[in-house]
A and B are shown apart, each in its own frame.
Chain A
Amino acid sequence: METSQIVALTARELAVRVRDGSITARRAADAYLSRVDAVQRAFGPFAHATPDRCRAQADAIDQARARGETLGPLAGVPVGLKNIFVTQGVPTTCGSKILSGWTPQYEGAQAACLRQAGAVLVGKLAMDEFAMGSSNENTPFEPVRNPWARDHVPGGSSGGSAVVVSARAAALSLGSDTGGSIRQPASLCGLVGLKPTYGRVSRFGMIAFASSLDQAGPFARDTRDAALALSVLAGHDPRDATSLNAPVPDYLGACETPIKGLRVGYDPDGLNHEGLDPEVRRAFEVSLRVLRERGAEIVEVALPHAHLGVATYYVLCAAEAASNLARYDGVRYGRRQPQPSLDGMYAATREAGFGEEVKRRILLGTYVLRASSYEEYYGRAMKVRTLIASDYRAAFECCDLLVTPTSPFPSFRIGEKVSDPLAMYLSDIYTVGANLAGLPAISIPGGFSQAATDRPRLPIGFQLLGPRLAEPRLFAAAAAHEADTSWHLERPPGIKA
Chain B
Amino acid sequence: MQYLGKDGVAVIESRFGAQVKEASGTEINRCYQCLTCSLGCPSAFAMDYLPHQIVRMVQLGLREQVLTSSTIWVCADCQACATRCPNEVDLVKMMDVLREISLREGLAKEHAVADFHRIFLGNIERWGRQHELSLILMLKLKTRDLFSDLLPGMKMLLKGKLKLFPVRFSEIKKVRDLFRRTER
A binds B: no
